[in-house]
Amino acid sequence: MEFDFKGASVFVAGGTSGINLGIAESYARAGAKVAVMSRNADRVAGAVKQLQAHGGQVLGTVGDVRDQAQVRLAMQQAHAAHGDFDVLVSGAAGNFLCPAQDLSSNGFKVVVDIDLIGTFHVMRTGFDFARKPGASFINISAPQSAFPSAMQVHVCAAKAGLDQVMRVLALEWGEHGIRVNSISPGPIENTGGINKLVDAKKMSDIKQRIPMRRMGTTEDIGHMALFLGSPMASYITGAYIPVDGGIALLGGRSYAGDPVATPREDARQGANA
Ligand code: COA
Ligand code: NAP
C-alpha cells in the first residue's frame, strides 16, 4: 500500500547508508521533506543525491551523534528548512565482533557512546523540534537487545539500554502526543552491519536459519517505519517491534539451529547480525 507523507518533516540520524538510508528513501518516495545526518561528508553528499532523485526537499548535515551540540546544530538546520519534525529516526550504530576478554574499556565505550548515548542525544534534542502532538520517534534496535550474542557484549548492552530509553520516553512523552517505538531488524542484505558481521560465503547459511528463509531488505524496514510514522499507528507507543522474518521466535543462539555450534562460531556466522 502507498503512504502519503507530502509536507511531513522527517529527520534520520545516521541516515546516509544501509537501513537508515532505506528509511529516509521510503519517506522521500512518499513525499516527505527529509533531513539526514552522519559523520562522513562524502557519504552525506551521496545520500542527499540519492534522496533528491525522488523530487522532494532534502537536507544533509555532517555530524556525530556522540556530540549533542552537533546533533542540535543539524536539527536546527532541518527544523528551519522543513519545520517541526513529524518523524524522527535514531539509527546510527557501531559494531564489530570481539570476545569480551579481548575488548578494551574504550572498545565497549565507543559502541555505547554511539548506540545508547547517541540515541539519547537524538531523542532528547529531537523533543525540542518535534511536532507536539503528533510526532513519531523511531529507534533502530537489534535482536542483540533481547538476546545475548557472543562477541557482542558491547552491542547487547548498548541496544538493551536503547530500548529502555525508548520505553521511558514513551511513558514520559505520551502526554505531549509523541509516540516512541523501536524497530528491531533481522539480518538485512546489503547493509554495513551484515557485511561487517557475516562472512560473504556464510550468507546462504544464514537464510536457512531464518523462518522466512530469506534475508530482509531495507524496504522491509522502510515499510515498518512508514507505518509507525502514519496515523494508522497512532495508538502504538513503547513497542519493540521485530521485523526479522521470524528469528525472534527462536531466541538468541537457538535460532542458529545448530546445538553444537560454539558461541564464537555462532557469532561469526551472524546469528544475531
Ligand atoms: N575489535 C576490538 N576492538 C575494536 C575493534 C575491533 N574490531 N574496532 C575498534 N575497536 C576498539 C579500538 O581498539 C578502540 O579501543 P582502544 O582505544 O582501547 O584501542 C575503540 O574501539 C575505539 O576505536 P576507534 O577506531 O577509535 O573508534 P571510531 O569512533 O573511529 O569507530 C567503530 C567506531 C569502531 C564502531 C567503527 O566501526 C564505526 O565507526 N562504525 C560505524 C559503522 C558500523 O559499525 N556499522 C554497522 C552498524 S550495525
Ligand atoms: P550501516 O550501513 O553501517 O550505516 C550506519 C550509518 O550510521 C551510516 O550512515 C553511518 O554514516 C552512520 N553513523 C555511524 N556512526 C555514526 C555516528 N557516530 N554519528 C552519526 N552517524 C553515524 O548500518 P546498517 O547495517 O544499515 O545498520 C543501521 C542500523 O540498523 C543500526 O542501528 C544497526 O544496529 C541496526 N541493525 C542492523 C542490522 C543489519 O542486518 N544490518 C540488523 C539489526 C539491526 P557515517 O559513517 O557517515 O557516520
Which residue CA neighbors atom 48 of ligand 1 most closely? 193
CA of 193 to the centre of ligand 2 (A): 7
- Evaluate whether 206 touches 187 at the Cβ level (below 8 Å): yes
Cβ of 35 less than 6 Å from ligand 2 = no
- Ligand at minimal distance from the CA of 19 is 2
- pLDDT (tens digit per residue) in 49-62: 999 999 999 999 99
Which residue CA neighbors atom 31 of ligand 2 most closely? 93
> Architecture of domain 9-268 in CATH?
3-Layer(aba) Sandwich (3.40)
Q: Say whether 188 sits in a helix, a strand or coil.
A: strand
Q: State which H helix or E strand residue 165 sits in.
A: helix 153-173
Rg of the chain on CA atoms, in Å: 18
Average pLDDT (69-73) is: 99
pLDDT band at 160 (very low <50, low <70, confident <90, very high): very high
Q: Say whether 89 sits in a helix, a strand or coil.
A: strand
- pLDDT (tens digit per residue) in 247-267: 888 875 543 333 334 445 555
List the 179-185 sheet strands across, edge first: 58-62, 33-38, 9-13, 87-90, 136-140, 179-185, 240-243
Grid cell, residue 136, equals 513519531
Per-position DSSP letters for 217-253, written without gaps between them: -HHHHHHHHHHHHSGGGTT--S-EEEESTTGGGT-GG
- pLDDT (tens digit per residue) in 1-42: 689 999 999 999 999 999 999 999 999 999 999 999 999 999
Which protein residues are within 6 Å of ligand 1, measured from CB? 93-96, 98, 103-104, 106-107, 110-111, 192-193, 196
CA of 120 to the centre of ligand 1 (A): 20
- Ligand at minimal distance from the CA of 118 is 2
- Evaluate whether 30 touches 4 at the Cβ level (below 8 Å): yes
Write down the domain spans for the chain: 9-268
CA of 181 to the centre of ligand 2 (A): 18
- Residue of higher predicted confidence among 132 and 208: 132
pLDDT number for residue 251: 76
Give, in order, the Cα–Cα distances in Å from 249 to each of 20, 147, 186, 252. Answer: 24, 11, 11, 9
Report the alpha-carbon distance of residue 264 to residue 272 in Å, rounded. 12
Q: What are phi and psi of 154, to 5 degrees?
A: -65, -45
Residue with cell 540515541: 119
pLDDT above 80 for 108: yes
Report the alpha-carbon distance of residue 196 to residue 22 in Å, rounded. 18
Ligand 1 atom at shortest distance from the alpha carbon of 104: 18
pLDDT above 90 for 203: no
Give, in order, the Cα–Cα distances in Å from 213 to each of 82, 203, 210. Answer: 40, 11, 5
